[in-house]
Structure 1
Amino acid sequence: MSTTGVASAETPTDTPAPYRWRWAALFVILAAEVMDLLDAVVTNIAGPSMRADLGGGASTLQWLAAAYTLSMAVGLVTGGRLGDIHGRRTMFLVGAAGFTVGSLLCAVSVSPEMLISARVVQGLFGAVMLPQGLGMIKEMFPPQESQKAFGMFGPVMGLSAVCGPILAGWLVDADYFGTGWRMIFLINLPLGIAAILGALRYLPTTQSGDKPRLDIPGMFLVSLAALLIIFPLVQGREYDWPAWAFVMMGASVVVFAVFGVYESRRSKAGLDPLVVPSLFRKRGFSGGMTLGLVFFSTMQGFMLVFNLYTQIGLGYSPLKAGLVMVPWSGGMIVGFGVAQGVARFGRAVLQAGALVMALGVFGVWLTLDMVGSGVGPWQLVPSLLVTGIGMGLLMAPFFDIVLASVEQHETGSASGTMTAMQQLGGAFGVAILGTVFFGLLGGGIGSAVDHHAGSLRTQLAAAHVAPATQDRIVADLRRCASDRATAKDSEATPASCARLEKDTRAAVTSPEAAAKIPAALQTTAASAFETGFGTVMKTLLWVVDGMLALTFLLAFLLPRHARPEDAGGH
């Protein structure tokens, strides 16, 4: 019996009883999300161990993540549509089984090529599995509960993103049964089996009344368009942003436009489109896509640069760097809980989350500005906690508001499109903020060397180094420190550092100088490194806050409430 809305004689027909096992089914869906989110981040931590074991060049590290992102992004829209055609429960099972097998192939890989190929398998089956979850949640939960159901994604995403690096660092270091990095994929086996068994027991077997046909040309066009934008984004920096990267990104816009025209014509002809054009005529959905693209770019980009700062700039171990982010995940859970209590305010909750998150990011900036390069984990706790609370407030109502106006026959298409947008947003954020970070880093560290140059010259003069040689050594150190920080291959020695070493040897005139000069250079370089990283990180925090301000403004494109038609409810 329904206790919300206005009762009528038609209620039993128009509003069927909610699915009995909906909360158990939600946890099955979230288990699939956890597998995806963990596998999206663990290679960032375990990548060096993988390369040391299997071999490969510097690009191998990028491709371990890029292969997964690319295959996931190009398959997501199609994966959502497959759920409409063959049933969401069936495609969830296919995706979960394939993802689990892909994880096993990753664990037994004997070469970089095999591992990267196995990552592609994971991404493709993940693209089949993930979109089904959002569609089933919309089907299973009544309007008054969907806010809570969709809101669970925020804390789960935050916990997975934080726990992923911690888990990866722990498993690699622990080397259980001599498996080393392979254990980060082997843990997916029990998770995958549990998801499959849970899906068989708890997921509903609902299916579209009229089966749409798969749009093969549309699938090809959207996959090509996603490939053309994602590939240069993840590989551009590796090749110093060549012209072809920008040509590919421009071509992706053209292909997306062709895809849109084709889908519209296919729909008018009475055929089944891959992406239902009517979705983008809905204010909540189209506005949500734009907002989501900016927000997920902000979130993933911030996590990337903050991880780089703590691990490289502050010298934290992978495990310690992961633990630093625990307050963020804790804050997300708090924010989610608060959001449930104020859900009636709808869009305002999301906007308040953007403002609170921006306040937390400013708090991180203030902490770095006040404490400097000696900042410790405990000093970052308050600001990261506030950042997490804001993110929880923002994430909790997001999916519900965006999917509220989507009709039943559009659910699969909408779910796949939303999940693809998350992947594209993450890739944008990593590429854009990562590029800005490394673009500023060389100059930031060079300026920091200039700042410490007076003290270095004093120490060099005490070691009886001539003024002209001092100038040459300071200039060499500036270039070496800058090149070392931005090198694509951290194990290679930049030419500027080889030149610094040569000039340093030439400046040595006594055993005393042989000890003093390298020590002075090392101290100055270390100080400049910390100062430069801190300066660049503070600049990036302003960029992040600007993106959060844009998120706040874009929220005005969304309807005020997730389900304005349910005015009769609470």
Structure 2
Amino acid sequence: MTDNVALAPQPTTAGGAYRWRWPAFVVVLLASIMNLLDTLVTNIAAPSIRAELGGGPALIQWLGAGYTLALAAGLITGGRLGDLYGRRPVFLVGAAGFTLTSLLCAVATSPGMLIGARVAQGLFGAVMLPQGLGVIRSVFPPRELGAAFGVFGPAMGLASVAGPVLAGGLISADLWGTGWRMIFLINLPIGLFAVVAGARFLPAGRESTARRLDLPGAVLAAVAALLLVYPVVQGRELDWPAWVFLLIALALILFVVFARFEAGVQRRGGDPLIVPTLFGNRAFTGGLATGLAIFTSMVGFALVFAVFLQAGLGFSPLKAGLTVLPQALGSLVGFAATAVGLTQRLGRRSLQLGTALMICGVLGVFLVLRVEGADVSPWHFAPVLLIYGAGLGLFLSPFFDIVLAGVRPAEYGSASGTLNAMQQLGGAVGAAVLGTLFFGLLGGQVAQAADADASALRSRLAAIGVPAPEQQRIVDGLRACGRESADTTDPDAVPTACRRLGEEVSGASGATSDGAAVAAAVDEAGRDATHGGFAAALRGTIWAAVGLLATAFALTFLLPPYARRHRPGGAGDGPAGRETGSAS
């Protein structure tokens, strides 16, 4: 159609390249880093947020899942909006909205307000992000595109390293009394710069022949994703009523309806969000399943590990951020392997090696917890997290290229957007499923840890002079208090069992000559039970993470052996190969 002719950036240099391509690149890079940080920092901030705003364990899960679910639901639609209306205006709307919703997150006064702001932040991120890579591809000539992505990848890697440490440092510094709120306030200057500089340097015009937005398809996909994640997160706190399982079943039905609807849109000559023929491609569907398993495991493990470090071991946010730093450094090692050609030579085997290293790293965390117990320190985790991170880098570097090698060039745009949406959906499902498993195990494991230390506590109380009947009441009270504290939905409220335990300890202290020793013995036993219970809950959750990683390992055999541009014998030298191989 004549009104959809591409309006490419005007060549304004002697070489025909867009004059402001590097300033435009900086704008896109900063926006991408801002989004990346907001997917990472809430894991570190979640315990501090819950301590101030209240809310149950579901709040911790929704801080990440709400953002990534909204991002997943909106990514493909956001990319299509850029096709329809031009990348610059859509980017500016997304960046401005992201900045405003970051401010709303920072001033939130209740769990509901914060979760709502996070969801809105994810939706504006879905509008902003797809425009960035499209801008980079349009403003750089082919000879410079490799250099641009060569800067983009390491910069994002460094941001992933700095993110948790930055979050922990900002929270611990408590600048101007802001505490955790500063992790959102820091977006304000970055976002404002992105809006102002984007209006000045991003190219105008459209580069697509897309005619209309598949709004019904977008709504179907978003509702299906929400109906899948919501009952998993909330079900445990509601004691798993029947309607929870009905919602999950309805979500699966809606995904089928969505697929049929998209096929109908294509038959009628429309522009479907997802090209239906992709789902008949074994390599692509295998890639979707592999990615879903990997990202579910990765994000879920990151969430519960961060909660364990702070709520279980009592680490400060900064110490927790520094504890996971080796994982980020390991990821850089894995990404560096791409730069020296390792993953290009290995192809699909790089995914398998990376997954195997991730399994070794997660099992290494399990062994550290079993061997070190309550005396564990960040140094104990460093070697195994380094291995885990290296595996993650080896997997992520070639993953998208290898999966996209199995699709036709005409399907490339839809396939790329679907893969990115799947990545975010996997993150939301990971926070929901592994978070629910962890918190579901926690109360019982704390109670079991208290039982395991009961004889030692009785011995200490007997040595102080506490009578046997009161010893037993204190032991029983400690067990009940630990369980109720682990399961509470209001961290500011003192559980009934804990109040009764306090009364028992006060009574026992008054009946002995050393009341302070009684309180100290009970406090120490309580800390040991908390450490032991959190460690046991994490160990149980690790098996689920390992199962997901093992599933991903098996699914990699469905993928093409190599990315198209790296196939031996120059198989990627044709036009299709160049187009598919350029994604990363």
Q: Give the TM interval when normalised to the shorter protein.
A: 0.7 to 0.9
Query: How far apart are 1:258 and its partner, in Å?
Result: 0.8
Shifted more, 251-260 versus 509-518: the winner is: 509-518
Aligned residue type for 1:567: A
Give 1:371's aligned residue. 372
Query: Against the structure 1 CA distance between its residues 179 and 377, is the aligned structure 2 distance closer, same or farther, given a 3 Å change threshold?
Result: closer
Shifted more, 360-369 versus 391-400: the winner is: 360-369
Give 1:243's aligned residue. 242
Query: Is 1:424 the equivalent of 2:428?
Result: no
Query: Against the structure 1 CA distance between its residues 45 and 523, is the aligned structure 2 distance closer, same or farther, given a 3 Å change threshold?
Result: same
Query: How far apart are 1:363 and its partner, in Å?
Result: 2.3
Query: Against the structure 1 CA distance between its residues 355 and 117, is the aligned structure 2 distance closer, same or farther, given a 3 Å change threshold?
Result: closer
Shifted more, 312-321 versus 527-536: the winner is: 527-536
Query: How far apart are 1:462 and its partner, in Å?
Result: 3.2
Looking at structure 1, the residues matched to 356 and 62 of structure 2 have their Cα atoms a distance apart, in angstroms, of 35
Aligned residue type for 1:489: D
Query: How far apart are 1:448 and its partner, in Å?
Result: 1.8
8 Å contact kept, 1:79–1:416: no
Aligned residue type for 1:189: L
Shifted more, 40-49 versus 531-540: the winner is: 40-49
8 Å contact kept, 1:480–1:494: yes
Query: How far apart are 1:336 and its partner, in Å?
Result: 0.5
Give 1:551's aligned residue. 552
Query: How far apart are 1:188 and its partner, in Å?
Result: 1.7
Give 2:389's aligned residue. 388
Aligned residue type for 1:383: V
Query: Is 1:212 the equivalent of 2:216?
Result: no
Query: Against the structure 1 CA distance between its residues 373 and 333, is the aligned structure 2 distance closer, same or farther, given a 3 Å change threshold?
Result: same
Query: How far apart are 1:402 and its partner, in Å?
Result: 2.4
Looking at structure 1, the residues matched to 287 and 135 of structure 2 have their Cα atoms a distance apart, in angstroms, of 19
Looking at structure 2, the residues matched to 529 and 411 of structure 1 have their Cα atoms a distance apart, in angstroms, of 50
8 Å contact kept, 2:65–2:429: no
Query: Is 1:83 the equivalent of 2:82?
Result: yes
Aligned residue type for 2:292: L
Deviation sequence 1:320-373 (CA, Å, 0-9, x none):
000111111111111111133211321111111111122222222233333222
8 Å contact kept, 2:352–2:395: yes
Give 2:99's aligned residue. 100
8 Å contact kept, 1:373–1:531: yes
Query: Is 1:288 the equivalent of 2:287?
Result: yes
Query: Is 1:42 the equivalent of 2:41?
Result: yes
Give 2:454's aligned residue. 453
Query: Is 1:319 the equivalent of 2:318?
Result: yes
The 5-angstrom pairing of residues 140-179 of structure 1 reads: 159-160=158-159, 163-176=162-175, 179=178
Shifted more, 201-210 versus 452-461: the winner is: 201-210
Give 2:255's aligned residue. 256
Shifted more, 538-547 versus 385-394: the winner is: 538-547
Looking at structure 2, the residues matched to 478 and 51 of structure 1 have their Cα atoms a distance apart, in angstroms, of 23
Looking at structure 1, the residues matched to 142 and 403 of structure 2 have their Cα atoms a distance apart, in angstroms, of 13
8 Å contact kept, 1:154–1:396: no
Looking at structure 2, the residues matched to 353 and 150 of structure 1 have their Cα atoms a distance apart, in angstroms, of 22
Give 1:462's aligned residue. 463
SS in 1 for 2:491: coil
Give 1:186's aligned residue. 185
Query: How far apart are 1:412 and its partner, in Å?
Result: 4.2
Looking at structure 1, the residues matched to 371 and 113 of structure 2 have their Cα atoms a distance apart, in angstroms, of 48
8 Å contact kept, 2:172–2:317: no
Query: How far apart are 1:41 and its partner, in Å?
Result: 3.9
8 Å contact kept, 1:131–1:419: no
TM-score by length of 2: 0.83
8 Å contact kept, 2:55–2:111: no
Aligned residue type for 1:321: A
Aligned residue type for 2:31: A
Deviation sequence 1:84-111 (CA, Å, 0-9, x none):
3334454334322322233344446677
Query: Against the structure 1 CA distance between its residues 318 and 357, is the aligned structure 2 distance closer, same or farther, given a 3 Å change threshold?
Result: same
**Unaligned stretches of 5+ in structure 1?**
1-16
Give 2:540's aligned residue. 539
Query: How far apart are 1:513 and its partner, in Å?
Result: 5.7
Shifted more, 132-141 versus 356-365: the winner is: 132-141
SS in 1 for 2:563: coil
Looking at structure 1, the residues matched to 198 and 541 of structure 2 have their Cα atoms a distance apart, in angstroms, of 42
Give 1:438's aligned residue. 439
8 Å contact kept, 2:65–2:428: no
Looking at structure 2, the residues matched to 240 and 47 of structure 1 have their Cα atoms a distance apart, in angstroms, of 23
SS in 1 for 2:453: helix
Looking at structure 1, the residues matched to 254 and 300 of structure 2 have their Cα atoms a distance apart, in angstroms, of 26
SS in 1 for 2:96: helix
Shifted more, 67-76 versus 217-226: the winner is: 67-76
Query: Is 1:474 the equivalent of 2:475?
Result: yes
Deviation sequence 1:508-561 (CA, Å, 0-9, x none):
562426334333222222222222322332333333222222111111111111
Give 2:571's aligned residue. 567
Looking at structure 1, the residues matched to 442 and 388 of structure 2 have their Cα atoms a distance apart, in angstroms, of 24
Query: How far apart are 1:315 and its partner, in Å?
Result: 1.3
Query: How far apart are 1:127 and its partner, in Å?
Result: 1.0
Query: Against the structure 1 CA distance between its residues 527 and 268, is the aligned structure 2 distance closer, same or farther, given a 3 Å change threshold?
Result: same
**Unaligned stretches of 5+ in structure 2?**
1-15, 579-584
Query: Against the structure 1 CA distance between its residues 37 and 349, is the aligned structure 2 distance closer, same or farther, given a 3 Å change threshold?
Result: same
Shifted more, 60-69 versus 300-309: the winner is: 60-69
Deviation sequence 1:450-491 (CA, Å, 0-9, x none):
221222222233344444443333222222212222322222
Looking at structure 1, the residues matched to 365 and 105 of structure 2 have their Cα atoms a distance apart, in angstroms, of 37
Query: How far apart are 1:180 and its partner, in Å?
Result: 4.8
Query: How far apart are 1:277 and its partner, in Å?
Result: 0.7
Looking at structure 2, the residues matched to 56 and 312 of structure 1 have their Cα atoms a distance apart, in angstroms, of 14
8 Å contact kept, 1:301–1:433: yes
Query: How far apart are 1:116 and its partner, in Å?
Result: 4.9
Shifted more, 316-325 versus 98-107: the winner is: 98-107
Query: Against the structure 1 CA distance between its residues 138 and 353, is the aligned structure 2 distance closer, same or farther, given a 3 Å change threshold?
Result: farther
Looking at structure 1, the residues matched to 446 and 405 of structure 2 have their Cα atoms a distance apart, in angstroms, of 49
SS in 2 for 1:271: coil
SS in 2 for 1:239: coil
Looking at structure 2, the residues matched to 152 and 101 of structure 1 have their Cα atoms a distance apart, in angstroms, of 28
Query: How far apart are 1:118 and its partner, in Å?
Result: 3.9
Give 1:8's aligned residue. none
Query: How far apart are 1:22 and its partner, in Å?
Result: 7.8
Shifted more, 357-366 versus 114-123: the winner is: 114-123
8 Å contact kept, 1:81–1:413: no
8 Å contact kept, 1:150–1:399: no
TM-score by length of 1: 0.85
Looking at structure 2, the residues matched to 419 and 513 of structure 1 have their Cα atoms a distance apart, in angstroms, of 62
8 Å contact kept, 2:51–2:492: no
Looking at structure 1, the residues matched to 92 and 279 of structure 2 have their Cα atoms a distance apart, in angstroms, of 29
Number of aligned residues? 554
8 Å contact kept, 2:54–2:492: no
Aligned residue type for 2:359: A
Deviation sequence 1:182-225 (CA, Å, 0-9, x none):
43333223322444466567766685552232112212211221
8 Å contact kept, 1:350–1:394: yes
Shifted more, 323-332 versus 449-458: the winner is: 449-458
8 Å contact kept, 1:89–1:204: yes
8 Å contact kept, 1:131–1:412: no
Aligned residue type for 2:36: L
Deviation sequence 1:431-454 (CA, Å, 0-9, x none):
211122122222222222222122
8 Å contact kept, 1:147–1:396: no
Give 1:304's aligned residue. 303
Query: How far apart are 1:144 and its partner, in Å?
Result: 11
Give 1:9's aligned residue. none
8 Å contact kept, 1:445–1:481: yes
Deviation sequence 1:275-298 (CA, Å, 0-9, x none):
211222333322221111110111
8 Å contact kept, 1:284–1:402: yes
8 Å contact kept, 1:296–1:429: yes
SS in 1 for 2:269: coil
Give 2:520's aligned residue. 519
